[in-house]
Amino acid sequence: MQAMVLKKLKTALEWTDLPDRQPGPGEIRVKVAACGVCRTDLHVVDGELPDPKVPIIPGHEIVGRIDAVGAGVDLHMGERVGIPWLGHTCGVCPYCMMHRENLCDRPLFTGFTRDGGYATATIADARFAFPLGEAGSDVALAPLLCAGLIGWRSLVIAGDGKKVGFYGFGAAAHILAQVAKWQGRSVFAFTRAGDHATQSFARTLGAVWAGGTDEMPPELLDAAIIFAPVGALVPLALKAVRKGGRVVCAGIHMSDIPSFPYKILWEERELLSVANLTRQDGIDFLRLAPKIGIITKTTSYPLKQANQALADLRAGRFEGAAVLVP
């Protein structure tokens, strides 16, 4: 197999030949057909997340077909599956026992603490792979595995208010805008100030308003989700939500939040974060996605150009999501 490997933090990934691996008990080997590029991959490369496995093969939005099966696995050879960020949980810690496996004390995360999908093949714990069926292309489905799925968890946690703001309109927001519209909500899209291209992209996906993060929406929001890794957005979002409104930080990493006056949190506004996903999130979202008819906007790169895809994500050079194709 071949992979783009992060051999040292804060360096470019390297194209590497590796011996083929065999799946152990409970594992599957998947021939990768597409792997989305997530902002979390940038945080991994940049060394912004604690305790990575290095060297590591990044990538946790994997779509592929099973080409080897370990003992005790119910999935079948040739079946198309998606492999998400949550790669393994212990099943016995207090969080696993209270159905919050996203907070497991001893988890493994795909592309961070176990090898991921920037590769021609990967090994996964079969219990954490989602059967995807045959509808939809591999590339179109890949961004659903994290941008869609953790975005979905964020939207659920944001509550059922009608007016929802998205700060940062990238891979996750472009999917969630379609979900929120389908649910009958109004989406307000906030982009970098002056980014008119992304603002019109948001309008084409049904946003009722799009503007810069430095602007106030025309009316107060019921909830806001912050997708951009920018702590300065937290006080801005708190100012944009009504009394009792909710602000959800959806990212795994964020720059420091500047201090802000208590009065913008007061009146029972809530500030929360989202961490990881549960398998139930995946089941719920992937069941709903075909009904909504989500259309992902993707830019494909050959696997060997993973560094270019990461650079383009960092610079905001595409709308929607980047996807690597081996």
Which whole-number Å values give the CA distances from 309 to 49, 65, 312, 317, in the listed order? 20, 23, 5, 9
> In the chain, which ranges are continuous DSSP H helix?
39-45, 94-97, 138-141, 147-157, 171-182, 196-204, 233-240, 279-292, 306-315
Q: At closest approach, how far in Å is the CB of 316 from Zn ion?
A: 17
Smaller CB separation from Zn ion, 90 or 157: 90
Considering the complex, state which of residue 79 and residue 319 has its C-beta at the smaller distance from Zn ion: 319
95 vs 260 by CB, closer to Zn ion: 95
Q: Buried (b) or exposed (e) across 78-97, using 16+ Cβ within 10 A?
A: ebbbbbbbbbbbeeebebbe
Least distance from C-beta 222 to Zn ion, angstroms? Answer: 26
Q: How far is the CB of 90 from Zn ion (least distance, A)?
A: 4
Cβ of residue 321: shortest distance to Zn ion, in angstroms? 10
Residue 289's region, left for phi above 0, alpha for psi from -120 to 50, else beta, is alpha
Closest contact distance (angstroms) between CB of 44 and Zn ion is: 10
Residue 323: strand pairing partners? 36, 300
Nearer to Zn ion (CB atom), residue 102 or residue 186: 102
Closest to Zn ion by CB, 85 or 188: 85
Q: Please tell me whether the peptide bond between 302 and the residue prior to it is cis, using omega within 30 degrees of 0.
A: no
CA distances from 61 to 127, 187, 215, 222, 226 (A): 16, 25, 33, 30, 20
- Cα gap 281→287, rounded to integer Å: 10
Kindly list the residues in this chain that would bind Zn ion in the complex (CB under 5 A).
38, 40, 89-90, 93, 96, 104, 146
The dihedral through the CA atoms of 10, 278, 257, 166 has a sign that is positive
The nearest distance, CB 103 to Zn ion, in angstroms, is 8
Nearer to Zn ion, 146 or 250 (CB): 146
> How is residue 258 written in tokens?
């500047």
Nearer to Zn ion, 96 or 247 (CB): 96
Least Å from the CB of residue 38 to Zn ion? 3
CB of 107 to Zn ion, least distance (A): 7
| Of 96 and 313, CB closest to Zn ion | 96
Q: How far is CA 201 from the centre of its chain?
A: 19
